[in-house]
Amino acid sequence: MKILYYSPHPRLSAEAPTGYGTHMREMTAAWRRAGIEVKTLIAGDVHAAGAAGADNTDPGLTDKLRSVKRLFPKKIWETARDIQLIRFDLRMEQRLREAIADFSPDLIYERVAYLQNSGVRAAKATGVTHIAEINAPYPEERRYFSGDSFLIGTAKDNLRQVLIETNGIVTVSSVLAADFAEIAEEARDKTLVIPNCVNPEAVMHSAERAEELRNELNLGRDLVLGFVGSVFPYHGVDILIEAFASLPKAPRTKLLIVGDGASLPELRALASRLGVADRVVFAGSVPHRDVYLYIELMDICCMAKSNRYGSPVKIFEYGLLKKPVLAPATAPVAEVTDAETAVIVSPDAESVAEGLLKLISDESLRKKLAEAWHHKVLKDHTWDTAAAKVLTLCT
């Protein structure tokens, strides 16, 4: 079997140290381990993007227009950016057709992106089976991160076209599956829910290096509570800091925040204002290869909040390293965890603090939850398992 892995968005790279980057790398690697021939056409990767056009690393406007961005109303500016994205998608469609002609794939597996539908257009024109991986309600997410655009309606139409014309849909939560069925009834019977996963072979670090890092971060012998991930508002790092500040100081604890984001200065200020700046360690962005090394330093791994639809890859990474997990009470989290595998909390400081106290005060509970979640992750949530499930849509 031959799979052409396609990602048309100019800013999404398989090399990125993010959840989507991990998803791209691990799915293709899992298929290759299974003996499947895989070719990638990922616009955000340096080589693919360079071949597609000089302006494709930025879906924004030309340098001249960017210099006068402040003169444009935000909605006009964002619409102009979307127009550039549509133009880029048209160029990527031609690149995809060339790749199809050269590679003759049995399957196009596309990581669908906002406002782009070149994958289903090219697949339909060439008669190749197409599977769409859609891991967010893209028009909704675009508004959340960047604001409104006059082309949001076009983006919704494009998403509906993908849902109707693709041969199969893969998504990370039942919430999204239900969303897609509401948009297009045709999606209901061809959608497969596969939560995020881990690669057990990705854990490569020594006890010696972990001890060195512990000393570098001045964690001492304190009990370490930790978070790893992009510091987006919907991850609730502010809630975690507020909850941490309300905890008793005995036993000695520290909070380790691993990741970066625009709100990081505000979070540092929050820790200072709450009087815990000396016990909150901000490690910043770290290479993806080092993520597990930082998780190794944590005694309790936390995620205080999540959006309504996402499958947080970090809780699976926590489980792989056999760490007790505090996780938010969202529907996607509830699909994979329960009271036997994690402490589930509401996304507010009081509930998070109660959950942390429960874990801090009961070492046997921490061990029990960690063991149970570790076993479930290895059994049900590896990339090899996910890659095999995807292919059932082709039968």
Q: What is the pLDDT of residue 120?
A: 97
Q: What is the pLDDT of residue 57?
A: 40
2-193 shares its CATH topology with 201-380: yes
- Mean pLDDT for the chain? 91
> Which whole number is the average pLDDT over 133-144?
93
Q: What is the pLDDT of residue 36?
A: 97
CA distance 342 to 315: 10
Instruction: Dump strand ranges (E) for the chain.
Output: 2-7, 37-42, 107-111, 129-133, 168-171, 191-193, 223-228, 253-258, 280-284, 300-302, 325-328, 343-345
Architecture label for domain 201-380: 3-Layer(aba) Sandwich (3.40)
**Over pLDDT 70: what percentage of the chain?**
93
* Closest among 352, 334, 359 to 237, alpha carbons compared: 352
CA distance 395 to 183: 25
Q: What digits encode the pLDDT tens for the residues 317-358? A: 999 999 999 999 999 999 999 999 999 999 999 999 999 999
The C-alpha angle with vertex 142 and arms to 7 and 239, in degrees rounded to 5, equals: 110
Q: Which two tokens stand for residue 246?
A: 């309300």
Q: What digits encode the pLDDT tens for the residues 203-223? A: 877 778 889 999 999 999 999
What is the β-pairing status of strands 37-42 and 343-345?
Answer: unpaired
* Closest among 17, 7, 9, 13 to 56, alpha carbons compared: 9
Note the residue count of the chain: 395
Architecture label for domain 2-193: 3-Layer(aba) Sandwich (3.40)
**What stretch of H or E contains 273?**
helix 264-273
Give the confidence band of 77 by pLDDT, cuts at 50, 70, 90: confident
Q: What digits encode the pLDDT tens for the residues 290-324? A: 889 999 999 999 999 999 999 999 999 999 999 99
Asked whether the bond before 73 is cis by omega within 30 degrees of 0, the reply is: no
Give me the residue spans of the domains in the chain.
Answer: 2-193, 201-380
Listed range (66-70, 136-140, 186-190, 309-313) with the worst mean pLDDT: 66-70
**Residue with the larger pLDDT of the pair 233 and 204:** 233
Q: What is the pLDDT of residue 15?
A: 82
